[in-house]
């Protein structure tokens, strides 16, 4: 993709033209976001006609900033359709068919269609390329059988990015294909899976004789891993790179808690103040590192260095909420929300303290979801620093001969 | 000497372990943690009748087993391993120690046999720890009778206690008072706890008639009782930490990714090895605290107790957190027990003062 030059001023002008036509404070989410897409302001680095202008991805920040200046209503990509926008769109653009680009991208951006990622299986998490879900060709369809797990948002998704094995005799990485699955297809069963707060944010997805039209394959048969890498690289950047405003996000919440602290002894306060300040430094540096990465970002998909932010974000976030519990003090013995087994309610938390208690628990997943911290360290060591990999026994043998967990 | 365990100790450990394996498997823990009472009365009775656990450190003349802090540490360690849901910390440890340290002979004679037999659940309402600012009780004498006013937060098992032992301020200092669980003027509110396996409640007293359990200022005795309690809690934390390490290690040996057990990757192997070091430190801390408590030199016992509570709290939290991590996505689910340990670890670290508090007390003890 060739990058077109465009001045910041012109970009701002285009945003104002969009706002004159459709203003988020006055029209619906679908309408506003649809118009934003049509103006090429959804993902500015995407080609024209697909929600972009073919300009540098750096300029997306200018678009977002200009919208914030003029509107109260701001939609966060990572809230309205995290998987669709963060991972689905770049995957469609890079490996999708013309039909997919034409018919899916706009509705991803507006969040009319929620997406989910059907990669992980009970036996294949970090080693997603070891997955066992089978797809067998039958005329102009593929028939899929298997089980996926930890599938976030599957219960509200229209589309799923499905990775399945099409050739068990081939080495693991070359025997997979990547499909677009309509979750309303017969044979797809979504069962809630509860996490440690009691909420069922993710699911188990059972696939029994699910028929997928052959043209819903990304790239070609056997190229699933290549497509999956695009999805995964974008996932890491979406998670780690979603840096918020200065002093916003988790660290902002910690600072607010700190300001409202009560009952701490002077000595505890001295110790915790240093901890809070240290976390602030790290949060600021994570934000600045993400900004620096974005400034250097070329068109196209992110590389392995995206794991820097993903790793740092995960580990930092856990520590921020641990610290928050210490600032809360004895009251952290209580969990007022209760462990209700239910779907995430989407309601916001009544108090800062309630949010912190939830996040203290929820953040434990940060170093697991989207690739574990251990896997991120392997990627940084091997792909970025060029250190030798571990000896592998699972690479050049047929997948079916590799030992695996049930 | 520290760390001299006898064959009887090992026998006690095996007896308690076998009992708990039968009576407190994960499914029972999950069922009980969802109930309001939070424990099984039948199992509690059997803990008393068959094993003598509630009266473990109660002298024989009051119907107990006449054992000491070392045996208690062994029992607590085993209970911590399985997250036993029972009013043991409140009744068998804190209440018993408070009574042994400050109660009159008459009050001991009244309450300890009942505790030992499993007939009586007791809770202690403590003044707020530095840091919470919630509640405090005052006792005043009116026409020869005591009345209590005030409140106490985070009372362990306060909602089911037959008797509440209230630490209250009097003209002479701190005193310990006995209040019936159902006394007029006592309001008990069960609290929604982070750790479902140990219940807390808030108690409010308004003109509640009470009996004095101690005479004069009981501060020093209560201080000793607390030191003995946190030493025992350290052992419970050790048991939990040990179980997290075992679970994580077992999983690391069997879970295959990339055609190999995940424990063959140094990232995981070294995590387990680091936990092993911490758990062994925690073991030294908890056992040392138990043996120092038995030796009976107050200053030494207090120093060891603060050290144990500070270290075991953090070691347990770390082990529980790493257990989730090593179990991957499964470790984050409700169905997997890792989160139950994580929540117990966090809550027990906060109970009776967090690690910062205990390191501060330790610093005082060692004169820095
Ligand atoms: C909240 C949440 C949401 C999720 N959402 C989705 C989703 O929407 N779609 C989806 O497909 N998946 C999803 N996942 C699954 C997630 O991607 C996996 O859980 C993750 O990749 C880890 O896989 P696993 O759980 O099988 O753990 P395992 O891979 O079994 O890992 C267990 C432990 O071994 C370590 N380990 C594994 N391999 C190595 C190695 N080579 N070197 C060093 N250490 C190693 C891991 O770091 C971990 O500590 C979600 C998970 C969570 C917790």
Tens digit of each residue's pLDDT (9 = 90 or more) over B17-37 = 999 999 999 999 999 999 999
CA angle in degrees (0–180, nearest 5) for A371-A349-A270: 80
The answer to whether domain B220-365 has CATH 1.20.140.10 is yes
Measured between CA atoms, the residue of chain B closest to residue A370 is B329
Judge whether B233 and B194 are in contact, CB under 8 Å: no
Residue A88 distance to chain B (closest CA, Å)? 22
Three-state secondary structure call for residue B188: strand
Structural domain boundaries of chain B?
A: 7-116, 122-218, 220-365
How far, in Å, CA of A149 to CA of A318, rounded?
23
Mean pLDDT of A176-201: 97
pTM of the complete model: 0.96
CA of B297 to the centre of ligand 1 (A): 50
DSSP 8-class letter at B210: E
What pLDDT score was predicted for residue A241? 62
| CATH superfamily of this structure's domain A115-223 | Butyryl-CoA Dehydrogenase, subunit A, domain 2 (2.40.110.10)
The owner of tokens 């201080």 is B223
What pLDDT score was predicted for residue B289? 98
User: CATH for B7-116?
Assistant: 1.10.540.10
pLDDT band at B132 (very low <50, low <70, confident <90, very high): very low
Judge whether B231 and B206 are in contact, CB under 8 Å: no
Measured between CA atoms, the residue of chain B closest to residue A334 is B193
The owner of tokens 């251990």 is A374
Judge whether A66 and A73 are in contact, CB under 8 Å: no
Tell me the backbone φ, ψ of residue A142, rounded to 5 degrees: -110, 140
**Environment class of residue B9 by beta-carbon count within 10 Å: exposed (0-12), middle (13-18) or buried (19+)?**
middle
Judge whether A44 and A8 are in contact, CB under 8 Å: no
CA angle in degrees (0–180, nearest 5) for B101-B104-B108: 75
| A87: Cα within 13 Å, side-chain hemisphere | 25
Q: List Cα–Cα distances, A172 to A165, A206, A207, A390, B295, in angstroms.
A: 8, 22, 21, 17, 63
Judge whether B99 and B213 are in contact, CB under 8 Å: yes
Mean residue pLDDT of chain A comes to 94
pLDDT above 50 (res A197): yes
pLDDT, tens digit (0-9, with 9 covering 90-100), for B95-112: 999 999 999 999 999 999
CATH class of A8-110: mainly alpha
Three-state secondary structure call for residue B265: coil
pLDDT, tens digit (0-9, with 9 covering 90-100), for A121-174: 999 999 999 999 999 999 999 999 999 999 999 999 999 999 999 999 999 999
Judge whether A18 and A39 are in contact, CB under 8 Å: yes
Report the percentage of chain B scoring pLDDT > 90: 95
Structural domain boundaries of chain A?
A: 8-110, 115-223, 230-384
What pLDDT score was predicted for residue B82? 98
pLDDT above 70 (res A299): no
What pLDDT score was predicted for residue B68? 98
How far, in Å, CA of A94 to CA of A234, rounded?
11
pLDDT above 80 (res A300): no
The owner of tokens 């499909």 is A179
Judge whether A377 and A314 are in contact, CB under 8 Å: no
What pLDDT score was predicted for residue A240? 67
Of the listed ranges A98-107, A295-304, B116-125, the least confidently predicted one is A295-304
**Environment class of residue B117 by beta-carbon count within 10 Å: exposed (0-12), middle (13-18) or buried (19+)?**
middle
Three-state secondary structure call for residue B310: helix
Better pLDDT: A273 or B2: A273
What pLDDT score was predicted for residue A237? 76
Judge whether A189 and A205 are in contact, CB under 8 Å: yes
Candidate of A86, A127, A372 to mutate for ligand 1, largest count of ligand atoms within 8 Å of Cβ: A372
pLDDT, tens digit (0-9, with 9 covering 90-100), for A223-265: 999 999 999 988 877 776 655 678 889 999 999 999 999 889 9
Most confident listed range (A78-82, A349-353, B46-50): B46-50
pLDDT band at A306 (very low <50, low <70, confident <90, very high): confident
User: What tokens were used for B317?
Assistant: 């939290």
User: What tokens were used for A385?
Assistant: 């620093």
For the stretch A114-152, what's the b/e string if a residue is b when 16 or more beta carbons lie within 10 angstroms of its beta carbon? Answer: bbbbbbbbbbbbbbbbbbbbbbeeeeebbbbbbbbbbbb
Of the listed ranges A1-5, A134-138, A342-346, the least confidently predicted one is A1-5
Which residue in A194, A318, A333 is closest to B194 by CB distance? A333
Mean pLDDT of B231-240: 98
Candidate of A195, A368, A387 to mutate for ligand 1, largest count of ligand atoms within 8 Å of Cβ: A368
Taking the Cβ of residue A87 and every Cβ of chain B, the question of whether any pair is shorter than 8 Å is answered with no
Mean pLDDT of B348-368: 95
pLDDT, tens digit (0-9, with 9 covering 90-100), for B150-198: 999 999 999 999 999 999 999 999 999 999 999 999 999 999 999 999 9
Task: Provide, for chain B, the percentages of residues in helix, strand and coil under a 3-state DSSP scheme, each rounded to the nearest 5.
Answer: 55, 15, 25
ipTM above 0.85, yes or no: yes
How far, in Å, CA of A128 to CA of B364, rounded?
53
Verify whether the Cβ–Cβ distance B254 to A264 is below 8 Å: no
Residue nearest ligand 1's atom 24 by CA? A125
Conformation bin of residue A200: beta by default, left when phi > 0, alpha when psi is -120 to 50 = beta
What pLDDT score was predicted for residue A58? 86
pLDDT, tens digit (0-9, with 9 covering 90-100), for B282-299: 999 999 999 999 998 999
Report the percentage of chain A scoring pLDDT > 70: 98
pLDDT above 80 (res B340): yes
What pLDDT score was predicted for residue A272? 98
CA A71, chain centre distance (Å): 25
Judge whether B83 and B31 are in contact, CB under 8 Å: no
Least Cα distance to A325 among A361, A367, A366, A350 occurs for A361
Is A21 catalytic? The answer is no
pLDDT band at B135 (very low <50, low <70, confident <90, very high): low
Of the listed ranges A74-83, A211-220, B339-348, the least confidently predicted one is A74-83
Which residue in A123, A267, A377 is closest to B267 by CB distance? A377
What pLDDT score was predicted for residue A350? 84
Taking the Cβ of residue A380 and every Cβ of chain B, the question of whether any pair is shorter than 8 Å is answered with no
Kindly state the helix (H) or strand (E) to which residue B345 belongs, with its residue range: helix B338-350
Residues in B closer than 8 angstroms to A403, CB to CB, are 256, 259-260
Q: List Cα–Cα distances, A276 to A270, B108, B131, in angstroms.
A: 10, 47, 17
User: What spatial distance separates the first Cα and last Cα of chain B, rounded to whole Å?
Assistant: 27
Of the listed ranges A59-68, A296-305, A356-365, B14-23, the least confidently predicted one is A296-305
User: What spatial distance separates the first Cα and last Cα of chain A, rounded to whole Å?
Assistant: 43
pLDDT above 60 (res B133): no
Residue A145 distance to chain B (closest CA, Å)? 21
Rounded (10°) angle between helices B219-254 and B338-350:
160
What is the CATH architecture of B122-218?
Beta Barrel (2.40)
Three-state secondary structure call for residue B201: strand
Ligand 1 is surrounded, with C-beta below 6 A, by A 116-117, 119-120, 125-126, 150-152, 202, 365, 368-369, 371-372, 374-375, 378; B 255, 257-258, 262, 265, 267-268, 325-326, 328-330, 332
Three-state secondary structure call for residue B359: helix
| CATH superfamily of this structure's domain A230-384 | Butyryl-CoA Dehydrogenase, subunit A, domain 3 (1.20.140.10)
Mean pLDDT of A345-365: 90
pLDDT above 70 (res A386): yes
Verify whether the Cβ–Cβ distance A125 to B257 is below 8 Å: yes
Three-state secondary structure call for residue B361: helix
- Write the secondary structure of chain A as one string of H (helix), E (strand) and C (coil): CCCECCCHHHHHHHHHHHHHHCCCCCCCHHHHHHHHHHCCCCCCCCCCCCCCCCECHHHHHHHHHHHHHHCCCCCCHHHHCHHHHHHHHHHHHHHCCHHHHHHHHHHHHHCCCCEEEECCECCECCCHHHCCCEEEEECCEEEEEEEEECCCCHHHCCEEEEEEECCCCCEHHHCEEEEEEECCCCCEEEEEECECCCECCEEEEEEEEEEEEHHHEECCCCCHHHHHHHHHHHHHHHHHCCCCCCCCHHHHHHHHHHHCCCCCCHHHHHHHHHHHHHHHHHHHHHHHHHHHHHHHCCCCCCCCCHHHHHHHHHHHHHHHHHHHHHHHHHHHHECCCCCCCECCCCCCCCCHHHHHHHHHHHHHHHHCCCCCHHHHHHHHHHHHCCCCCCCCCCCCCEHHHCCCCC
CA A59, chain centre distance (Å): 21
Q: Which of A72, A235, A336, A390 is catalytic?
A: A235
B297, B301, B303, B304 alpha-carbon torsion, rounded to 10°? 140
What pLDDT score was predicted for residue B130? 47
Verify whether the Cβ–Cβ distance A120 to B329 is below 8 Å: yes
How far, in Å, CA of A257 to CA of A68, rounded?
26
Better pLDDT: A99 or B133: A99
Mean residue pLDDT of chain B comes to 96
């Amino acid at each position: 993709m060739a990058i077109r030059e465009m001045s910041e001023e012109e970009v701002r002008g285009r945003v104002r033209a969009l706002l004159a036509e459709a203003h988020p404070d006055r029209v619906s989410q679908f309408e506003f976001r649809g118009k934003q897409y049509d103006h090429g302001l959804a993902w500015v680095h995407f080609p024209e006609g697909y929600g972009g202008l073919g300009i540098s991805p750096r300029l997306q920040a200018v678009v977002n900033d200009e919208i914030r200046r003029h509107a109260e209503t701001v939609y966060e990509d990572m809230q309205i359709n995290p998987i669709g926008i963060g991972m689905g769109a770049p995957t469609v653009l890079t490996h999708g068919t013309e039909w997919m680009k034409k018919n899916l991208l706009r509705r991803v951006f507006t969040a009319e269609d929620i997406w989910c990622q059907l990669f992980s299986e009970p036996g294949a998490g970090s080693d997603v390329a070891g997955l066992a879900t089978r797809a067998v060709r039958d005329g102009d369809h593929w028939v899929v059988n298997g089980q996926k797990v930890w599938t976030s948002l599957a219960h509200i998704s229209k589309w799923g990015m499905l990775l399945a094995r099409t050739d068990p005799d081939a080495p693991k990485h070359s025997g997979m294909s990547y499909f677009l699955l309509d979750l309303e297809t017969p044979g797809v069963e979504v069962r809630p899976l509860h996490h440690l707060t009691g909420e069922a944010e993710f699911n188990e997805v059972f696939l029994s004789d699910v028929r997928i039209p052959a043209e819903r394959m990304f790239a070609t048969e056997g190229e699933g891993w290549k497509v999956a890498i695009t999805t995964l690289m974008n996932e890491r950047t979406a998670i780690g790179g979603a840096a918020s405003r200065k002093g916003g996000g988790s660290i902002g919440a910690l600072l607010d808690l700190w300001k409202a602290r009560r009952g701490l002894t002077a000595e505890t306060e001295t110790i915790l103040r240093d901890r809070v300040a240290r976390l602030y430094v790290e949060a600021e540096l994570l934000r600045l590192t993400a900004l620096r990465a974005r400034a250097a970002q070329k068109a196209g998909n992110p590389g392995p260095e995206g794991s820097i932010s993903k790793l740092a974000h995960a580990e930092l976030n856990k520590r921020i909420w641990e610290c928050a519990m210490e600032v809360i003090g004895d009251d952290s013995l209580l969990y007022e929300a209760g462990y209700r087994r239910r779907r995430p309610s989407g309601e916001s938390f009544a108090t800062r303290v309630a949010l912190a208690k939830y996040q203290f628990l929820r953040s434990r997943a940060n170093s697991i979801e989207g690739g574990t911290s251990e896997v991120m360290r392997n990627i940084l060591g091997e792909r970025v620093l060029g250190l030798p990999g571990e000896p592998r026994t699972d690479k050049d043998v047929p997948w079916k001969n590799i030992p695996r967990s049930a | 000497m520290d760390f001299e365990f006898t064959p009887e100790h090992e026998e006690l450990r095996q007896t308690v372990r076998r009992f708990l394996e039968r009576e407190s498997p994960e499914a029972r823990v999950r069922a009980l943690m969802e109930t309001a009472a939070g424990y099984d009365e039948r199992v509690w009775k059997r803990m008393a009748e068959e094993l003598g656990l509630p009266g473990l450190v109660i002298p024989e003349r009051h119907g107990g087993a006449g054992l000491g802090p070392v045996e208690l540490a062994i029992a607590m360690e085993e209970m911590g391993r399985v997250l036993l849901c029972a009013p043991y910390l409140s009744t068998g440890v804190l209440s018993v120690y408070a009574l042994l340290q400050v109660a009159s002979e008459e009050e001991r004679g009244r309450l300890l046999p009942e505790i030992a037999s499993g007939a009586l659940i007791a809770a202690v309402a403590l003044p707020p720890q530095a840091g919470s600012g919630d509640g405090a009780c005052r006792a005043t004498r009116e026409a020869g009778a005591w009345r209590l006013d005030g409140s106490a937060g985070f009372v362990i098992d306060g909602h089911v206690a037959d008797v509440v032992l209230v630490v209250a301020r009097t003209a002479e200092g701190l005193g310990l008072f006995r209040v019936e669980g159902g006394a007029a003027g006592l309001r008990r509110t069960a609290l929604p706890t982070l750790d479902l396996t140990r219940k807390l409640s808030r108690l409010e007293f308004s003109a509640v008639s009470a009996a004095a359990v101690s005479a004069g200022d009981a501060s020093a005795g209560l201080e000793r009782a607390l030191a003995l309690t946190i030493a025992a809690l350290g052992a419970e934390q050790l048991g939990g930490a040990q179980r997290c390490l075992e679970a994580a290690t077992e999983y690391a040996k069997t879970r295959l990714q990339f055609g190999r057990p995940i424990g063959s990757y140094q990232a995981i192997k070294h995590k387990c090895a680091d936990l092993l070091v911490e758990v062994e430190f925690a073991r030294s801390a908890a056992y040392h605290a138990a043996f120092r408590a038995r030796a009976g030199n107050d200053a030494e016992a207090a120093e060891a107790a603060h050290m144990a509570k500070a270290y075991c709290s953090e070691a347990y939290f770390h082990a529980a957190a790493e257990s989730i991590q090593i179990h991957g996505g499964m470790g984050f689910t409700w169905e997997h027990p890792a989160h139950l340990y994580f929540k117990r670890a966090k809550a027990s670290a906060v109970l009776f003062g967090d690690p910062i508090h205990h390191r501060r007390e330790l610093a005082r003890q060692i004169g820095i």
